[in-house]
Each structure stands twice: as structure tokens, then as C-alpha cells.
Amino acid sequence: MKREVTIRDVAQAARVSPSTVSNLLNGRDGRMRPRTKARITRAIDELGYRPSRVARQLRTGQAQAFGLVVPSVANPFWGSFARAVESVAMRHGDQVLLCNSERDPERERAYVDELWAGGIRAVIIGTSLLSLDHLRPLMERGLRLVAFDRERQPADPPNLASVSVDNLLGGQLATEHLLAFGHRRIGFISGAIATVSRQRRLAGYRAALERAGVPFRDELVWAGEGNGYGDIDSAELGRQGMAALLDLPEPPSAVVTINDMYAIGACATARAAGLAIPGEHHGLSVVGFDDIVLAPLFNPPLTTVRQPLDDMARFAIEAIRRDTGDENEDEQPISAVMPPQLVARASTAAFATTLPANDHRSAH
């Protein structure tokens, strides 16, 4: 089997250092001599290190491009993040190629393989899966990967960059807000809790209950088992989760949802059951997460946990653009965990009375 050409092979053929090759590949060639640039470009073409598309980019001076893989822009949060990333990239003269993976590792690998084959050497991935081992082989070949919405894990490759909101704190803020209103039976609604961010948000919910001396109850956590992550049908899973919690002998008086689309779905089911949002009697308080563009426009305006999207987008692109041409395996990981902000609106209110048990099943 033929050995893959590396950046060091190109550097040796062009009689330059690997970091010099990297500078050209990443557009940092303003002070490079024309003869040096020509030697590197010729070596790239002769060795086949880069696909013809990238060779054309080097010759024509077109903007560099990178990939952005998100679960699905069906959730407005991911559309907003893509916009934020593109806005920052455009200021650098870069291009963004968007892919929707639905958190499927095989689909992610296929997309990133295709991006790699097209000459893309940097990708921001926003799926927050527990393991990114399906992308490790490409990272070993030189892929620059930035994990978004996923705090760094002990088993991650050392060259994996990451940026995330503090999801543990976010879960705590949402739950503490409801506790401060006097709620004690607080539900938690999510799709499959099989991502780093979701596990951290659930941990924050549990930590807030424990700190307040409120017992954690498994029956108040609905995780959409068998329904996947809910990135396309988030609102529908929110409806299902709320219906299941309202069918409990002692339903909750408030719920924390994994994101704003789940919250919107949960509110729809509550209203169909004759409950006000929030309402002083027979009402329900609901907290979302993300502060999507629909949150302040919803009726009532949604209490939620805001993520600093613009700051995270800037950090992700800075991590991608950082010089890694020396291929130093001992490079310190680039990571950031940014603080969330609770945005209190009208979907939450003080606890006034317990919900009537089992008198609203017919509504759903």
C-alpha cells in the first residue's frame, strides 16, 4: 500500500521547513519569496499532497475554506451558529462549507472524508458526541478539528481544539431559577442524553437540586429513549416529553428543557392539557436553553439560558487559523469554556399550587 504523502515530504522536496509549507497552505505567505512559493507549489503538485482543487487555490490566491458540521439547521440555534461562524470567517476572507450530520458518526466521517478529499484541512464540528474516535484517523493525517459545544474530554487527542459554553453551570442556572420561585418538583426534558453537553446540563440540574436539598427523582427526567437526539424534530420530542411528565401521578410544576425547541414543544402540550404558561393556578413554568431567535418572540417570551455564540464562533475560527504547521504533537490543547447567562422572561413564575394529578391525560 502506497504511503500517504505528508507535509514533511513536501517540505523536503521543496527544501523548506514544514512550517513554511504550512504558511503557504494557510495563506500566510505575504513575506514569502516568489521562488520559495513556486518550489512549494511545484512539490505539492508533483507529490500529490493536495487535491487539484487546493492546488488551484494556491495558484489563484482564492480564499481558504473550512468545513462546519452541525447536527441540523432545522434547530434555529445551529443556523444562528453557522451565521456567526460565516460572519467571522468572511472578515478573514475565508469560506465555510456547511454540512448537517444529525449526529451520526458514519455520516460525520463521510462528510469529513469528502471535505478532506476536496482539500479542506480544517473543520468545526458541533455534535458533542462522547467520542470523536471516528475522526481520529483524519486528525492523525493532519486534519485540524475544533469541537464546538463539547467540553474537552480526557481521552481526546491532544491536537483537538474545543470551545463550549459551561453546560454544567447552564443546567444549574436554569434549575436554580425555578427553585428560587419555590418549585420543588422540577422535570427535565431531553432527547437521548448521549452527548457531552447534554450530560453536563443534566449534571447541573442534579447539582442544583442537591444543593437545595431537593431529592433527584428519575421519573421526572424524560430522555426520549429510542427517539434519537431530536435535532430535526426537537419540538415534537418536547411535546412527547411533556405529555409523559404530565401523565405522572404527581406531575412537575416546572420543567427544564435541553434546548428552546424542546421548550416550545413542551409548552404546546401543556396548553393542550389546559395548563397556563406560567399561570398562577394549574400553570407550568418552562425554561429553555440557547436563547434562539424565536425565544423572545414566543408567547409568552421564553425564559432560557443564553450561549455567547459570537464569542464562541470567534474562538473556534482563531483556533482553526492558529499555525500548526510544525506538526508538534506536544502542542498544548486549545480550549475554552465560556459562561452562560440566564435570561428571565415570562415563561416562569412563582409556584402557587400543585398540578392536579392525572386529570389532563385526555388532552394528549
Cβ-count burial 282-321 (b if 16+ within 10 Å, e if not): bbbbbbbbbbbebbeebebebbbbbbbbeebbbbbbbbbb
What pLDDT score does 326 carry?
Answer: 40
Bridge partners of 287, per DSSP, are: 256, 303
Q: What is the mean pLDDT of each run of 10 residues along the chain (364 residues)?
A: 77 90 74 88 82 47 79 96 94 90 95 91 94 94 94 92 98 98 97 96 98 98 82 94 97 97 97 90 90 97 97 94 50 86 97 57 38
* Domain of residue 230, CATH code: 3.40.50.2300
319: part of which helix (H) or strand (E)? Answer: helix 309-321
Same domain, 134 and 274: no
- At 83, which helix (H) or strand (E)? helix 76-91
One domain for residues 234 and 325: no
Is 136 a domain residue?
yes
**Contacting residues for 184 by C-beta, under 8 A, at least 6 apart:** 214, 253, 351
Mark whether 91 and 48 lie in a shared domain: no
Identify whether the C-beta of residue 86 lies closer than 8 Å to the C-beta of residue 96. yes
146 shares a domain with 192 = no
Same domain, 272 and 352: yes
Residue 21: give the domain boundaries. Answer: 7-60
Rounded CA-CA distance 359/343 in Å is 32
Are both 300 and 175 inside the same structural domain? Answer: yes
Q: Hey, what's the cell of 134?
A: 471516528
Same domain, 279 and 160: no
**Is residue 2 in a domain?**
no
Distance CA 64, CA 54 (A): 9
Residues 11 and 32 in one domain: yes
Looking at the domain assignment, is residue 187 inside a domain? Answer: yes
Spatial separation of the C-alpha atoms in residues 59 and 22, rounded to whole Å: 15
Residue 329 belongs to a domain: yes
Nearest one of 215, 262, 226 to 243, comparing CA atoms: 262
DSSP string, 39-63: HHHHHHHHHT-S-HHHHHHHHHTPP
CA–CA distance from 90 to each of 77, 112, 120, 317 (Å)? 20, 21, 16, 11
The DSSP code sequence of 285-303 is EEE-SB--TTGGGSSSPPB
154 is a domain residue: yes
Q: DSSP state, 361?
A: G
Number of structural domains the chain divides into: 3
Rg (CA), the chain: 24
Nearest to 246, CA basis, from 284, 301, 192: 284
C-alpha–C-alpha distance, residues 232 and 229, integer Å:
8
pLDDT recorded at residue 279: 72
Show which of 15, 34, 60 is a domain's final residue. Answer: 60
Note the pTM of the prediction, 2 decimals: 0.80
pLDDT attached to residue 361: 41
**178 is a domain residue:** yes
Instruction: Please check whether residues 112 and 87 belong to one and the same domain.
Output: yes
Nearest Cα to Cα of residue 124 among 318, 337, 327, 332 = 318
Claim to verify: residue 243 and residue 356 sit in the same structural domain: yes
For residues 178 and 279, membership in a common domain is answered with yes
User: Do residues 251 and 349 share a domain?
Assistant: yes
DSSP letter string over 268-291?
Answer: HHHHHTT-BSS-SSSB-EEE-SB-
Q: What CATH number does the domain containing 52 carry? A: 1.10.260
Residue 226 in any domain: the answer is: yes
List % helix, strand, coil for the chain (3-state, nearest 5). Answer: 40, 15, 45
137 domain residue, yes or no: yes
* Beta strands 122-125; 95-100: pairing state: unpaired
